[in-house]
Amino acid sequence: MRKIVILLFGTLLFLLLAWLCLGRHAPVIEKDLAVRTNNSLTEAGMGWLQIGIDGRDVILAGTVPTAALRDEAGEVVLGVHGVRTVDNRIAVEGGARAAAGVSSAAEASAPYRIRFLKNESGVMIIDGKLPDEESRTAIAEAARQQVGSGQIREHLSVAPGAPPGWLSAAERIAERSGQFIRMSATLTDTGLQLEGVVDSDSVRADVEQAISSALPPGGFASRLDITVSPSAVAAANCQQQFVKLLARRKIHFEPASAQITADSYSLLDELASIASKCPEADIDIEGHTDAQGSEQMNMALSQARARSVVGYLTAKGIAAGRLSAIGYGESRPVASNETEAGRAANRRIEFKVTIHGS
């Protein structure tokens, strides 16, 4: 009898501990699932959708232009590891008109519209109407040339009713989409509303002029709200400081070695300080050599030296994920290899700054 009591007590204690552990870790599990679900939606170009997490079950909400996009969003979320069920509550724009049985003639008379949505990962959704298959192909191809074939989610339909000059404006937006870090543009038969982020003032001016000049004449209303990314400005400032500093001083290595010499540590500390001022930027560390020795040996040496610089910067607190080491060997000289001065100029490390998604 005593053994049975001890066994029951032990079982109850185990169940209590298991319940406490699960209860303690449930919020952590749900938070991790939410992060991974949001990341998957963002990568698929649907980062504006909202999610709710209940254990391993996901509630999906928001508005999309087509039923196909709604179903695609559900499939994306269901494909996230750890998701058990998806309650897809996404609304489809225009769904009420379709449910009410609006005729195709009435639909054709509705505002003629095309929309471009691009996120910072470079994924772009294009949905709306175009007058014929030829223009549909042209718009999609122009966008693919800007952001890449695998980055386009196209939900276009063919319908009559495009006003004069409208198609040229749509084509111009597609042709300039690659200059945006992110953008949302809605072009109707009466106007254009565009919000976007670019990486410099010069790009902003260029895009505004190009798109404005392609808009239909007359009473066509437009609102272009194009801003410059603070991260891009910080990255440009970092690049300027890197170039200026490395034009005056050089990172030195032991002869035929990737070992950084001690007299370069202060320079590397300054470079690390600059890199910390643009934390959202990625930095390519490029190694170059002169033409002495074999081409294969120089390629390996330049790569090793670039890795040494990455290692130093990482040790100084710069995130490793931001840094890439690239060796070019002797393939990109900036001076003649026939003189000692030229060879010294060719032995160098360069920093190239980029913003993810630009």
pLDDT of residue 269: 97
| pLDDT confidence tier of residue 102, bands split at 50, 70 and 90 | very low
Tell me the sheet residues that pair with 226. Answer: 196
Q: Where in the chain is the domain with CATH 3.30.1330.60?
A: 232-355
- Class of domain 108-227 as given by CATH: alpha beta
Q: Where in the chain is the domain with CATH 3.40.1520.20?
A: 108-227
Q: How many CB atoms lie within 10 A of CB 12?
A: 10
pLDDT of residue 3: 56
Total residue count of the chain as it appears in this document:
358
Give the separation between CA 156 and CA 174, rounded to whole angstroms: 13
Give the separation between CA 8 and CA 1, rounded to whole angstroms: 11
Tell me the sheet residues that pair with 187. Answer: 114, 192
pLDDT of residue 142: 93
- CATH architecture of the domain with range 2-92: 2-Layer Sandwich (3.30)
pLDDT of residue 219: 75
Record the pTM.
Answer: 0.57
**Pairwise pLDDT comparison (43 vs 168), residue with the higher score:** 168
Kindly report which listed range (97-111, 208-222, 271-285) carries the lowest average pLDDT score: 97-111
Please classify residue 184 by burial: count the beta carbons closer than 10 Å to its beta carbon, then call 0-12 exposed, 13-18 middle and 19+ buried.
middle
List, for residues 330-346, the tens digit of each pLDDT value: 999 999 999 999 999 99
**Residue 49, SS3 per DSSP:** coil
Q: Where in the chain is the domain with CATH 3.30.300?
A: 2-92
**What single string gives the DSSP state of each residue in 302-320?**
HHHHHHHHHHHHHHTT--G
> Do the beta carbons of residue 47 and residue 119 sit within 8 Å?
yes
Q: Evaluate if residue 357 carries a pLDDT over 70.
A: no
pLDDT winner (highest mean) among 80-84, 187-191, 211-215: 211-215
**Pairwise pLDDT comparison (65 vs 163), residue with the higher score:** 163
Give the separation between CA 87 and CA 52, rounded to whole angstroms: 9
* Angle, vertex CA 18, rays to CA 12 and CA 24, nearest 5: 135
**Pairwise pLDDT comparison (206 vs 102), residue with the higher score:** 206
Give the separation between CA 78 and CA 85, rounded to whole angstroms: 7
- CATH architecture of the domain with range 232-355: 2-Layer Sandwich (3.30)
**Pairwise pLDDT comparison (248 vs 63), residue with the higher score:** 248
> Do the beta carbons of residue 102 and residue 74 sit within 8 Å?
no
